[in-house]
Every structure is written in C-alpha cells, then in structure tokens.
Amino acid sequence: MKRRHSEFLCPKFQAAMEILSRPWNGLIMATLEGGGTLRFSELRERLDAMGDRMLSERLKELEASGLIQRRVSAGPPVRVEYELTEIGHGFRDVLNAIGRWGERITTAAKPRKRA
Amino acid sequence: MKRRHSEFLCPKFQAAMEILSRPWNGLIMATLEGGGTLRFSELRERLDAMGDRMLSERLKELEASGLIQRRVSAGPPVRVEYELTEIGHGFRDVLNAIGRWGERITTAAKPRKRA
C-alpha cells in the first residue's frame, strides 16, 4: 500500500495488488478463509514448501495491513492463533474470481511457443 | 503453473495465484485490459518504476502462459505490440473483484499495532 505504480490504474486496485503480488499472501489468506482459526503449525502444515521464517514474516505483514488477526490465549499451554479480520474475509470474492479464472487458464489449450 | 503449494487449496486457484503473485503481472494485465493493444514503450510509460528488463521478462512469461499475445507488424518501421488473448481478457472479472476489495482495504480504519 506504499506506492502507486501507475497513474493509469485505479489506486485501490494497486493497493490490493501490492498485497497479492507478494509470494504466499494469496495462499495464506485462502487457507485461513477455508480453515477458519488456525495455529501457526497448522498453517505451516497446509502450505507445503513454505519456510517458518517466510510464513512468520507474511503473517506479520498481513496483520499490519489489517487483514488477519493474531490471538494469543492464556495458557498453559499458550495458544497463538490466526484468523481473517472482517476486511480479510472480503477476500472471499477475490478468491472466487481468481478460482474461476484459474479454471479458464488451466483448461485452455497449451500456449504456442514464441516465434 | 508449475507447482502445487497446498493440497488444501483448489489447484486452479493456485495456478492463477502463481501468475498473480509475481511482481507486476497483475498491473501489466490491468494496463492491457484498459489500454487495448500497446507497444512496449507505451506499456513501459504506464508502469512507473518498472525497468525494461523486468517488463520484457514478464511479457515473455505472460505470453508463454497464453495470457497475452505479441504481434509484430511488417515495417518499416517494425511495430511490436502486445494485447490480451481471450483467456487474458477473462482477467477482467478478477480485476474488478480485486478493485472492489481494494476499496474496502483502503477505506478501512488504520490497523492496530501488534501488541
């Protein structure tokens, strides 16, 4: 949400793309949308090939953007859980649109090689 | 479209996110959606802070994914132009959903600092 990259594009679209164009952010949000409240280890388990450190950084960013919420419940044992905020849940419509588009992409004929 | 990152998420969503989660791809496609057929220099001009080399790489990738089409018209002067394919135009719905979500993100109250 820091920069505008083009004066020809809607600033709100650019703000949203700033979040989505970072690796894993879309997948993390989709995982929380589908899974509800999840612990770090549960998120980690559902996102193959994603390292702990990367997940931790992304969660901090998404929290700072107001899209997810981190909750710590008094222990023992202390539980740290993550869930989407109300704004974060608004991602559902984007998720569905991306899913439908993904369907068209993956069922399309193989692309031609560049001449 | 190479990998699946999670067995908990729709593979089609993941294929689409694989494209969208690379820097600039969403902005390039949105620019072509709004601008029609554009030359390299025109695209470059509309995407501030994007280097020639990065733009060139992204265009090749998007072409290989079947989302944009590169057309060379006989010269002189030779014109190289880019436009969305039919599948690429299907991005419009995603673009609109992202724009609406962006509206909610940017009008939301400032996020709290992490405790």
Give CA–CA dist B103/A10, Å, rounded: 10
Residue in chain B lying closest to A110 (CA): B66
CB distance B87–A104 less than 8 Å?
yes
Give the model confidence (pLDDT) of A9-34 as tens digits. 888 899 999 999 998 999 999 999 99
Q: What is the pLDDT of residue A70?
A: 96
Q: Which residues of B61-91 are buried (b: 16+ CB within 10 A; e: fewer)?
A: ebbebbbbbeeeeeeeeeeebbbbbebbebb
Q: Residue B3 and residue A104: Cα distance in Å, rounded?
A: 18
Instruction: Give the confidence band of A3 by pLDDT, cuts at 50, 70, 90.
Output: low
Q: How far apart are CA B103 and CA B29, in angstroms?
A: 19
Q: How far apart are CA B20 and CA B16, in angstroms?
A: 6
| Encoded tokens for A95 | 């998720």
Q: Give per-residue pLDDT as tens, B25-44.
A: 999 999 999 989 999 999 99
pLDDT band at A113 (very low <50, low <70, confident <90, very high): low
The whole-chain average pLDDT of chain A stands at 87
What is the distance between the alpha carbons of residues B76 and A25, in angstroms, rounded to a whole number?
A: 46
Q: Decide if domain A11-98 falls under CATH 3.60.15.10.
A: no
Tell which CATH classification among 1.10.10.10, 2.40.50.100, 3.40.109.10, 3.40.50.1110 matches the domain B11-95.
Answer: 1.10.10.10
| 8 Å CB contact between B20 and A45 | no
Judged by CB atoms closer than 8 Å, whether chains meet at B98 and A50 is answered as no
Q: Which of B52, B58, B45 is nearest to B19 (CA)?
A: B58
* Average pLDDT, consecutive stretches of 10 residues, N- to C-terminus, chain B (115 residues): 71 91 93 93 88 93 95 87 94 94 77 51
> What ipTM does the predicted assembly reach?
0.81
Could you tell me how many CB contacts below 8 A there are between chain A and chain B?
194
**B51: number of Cβ within 10 Å:** 10
* Residue A63 touches partner B, C-beta closer than 8 Å: yes
Interchain contact, A16 vs B96, CB within 8 Å: no
Nearest to A18 by CA among B45, B49, B79: B49
Which two structure tokens, joined as six digits, stand for B87?
């599948």
More confident residue, B115 or A74: A74
Short-list A114, A97, A31, CA closest to B99: A97
At A75 the pLDDT is: 77
What are the residue boundaries of the structural domains of chain A, listed by start?
11-98
Q: Say how far apart CA B100 and CA A70 lie, in whole Å.
A: 25
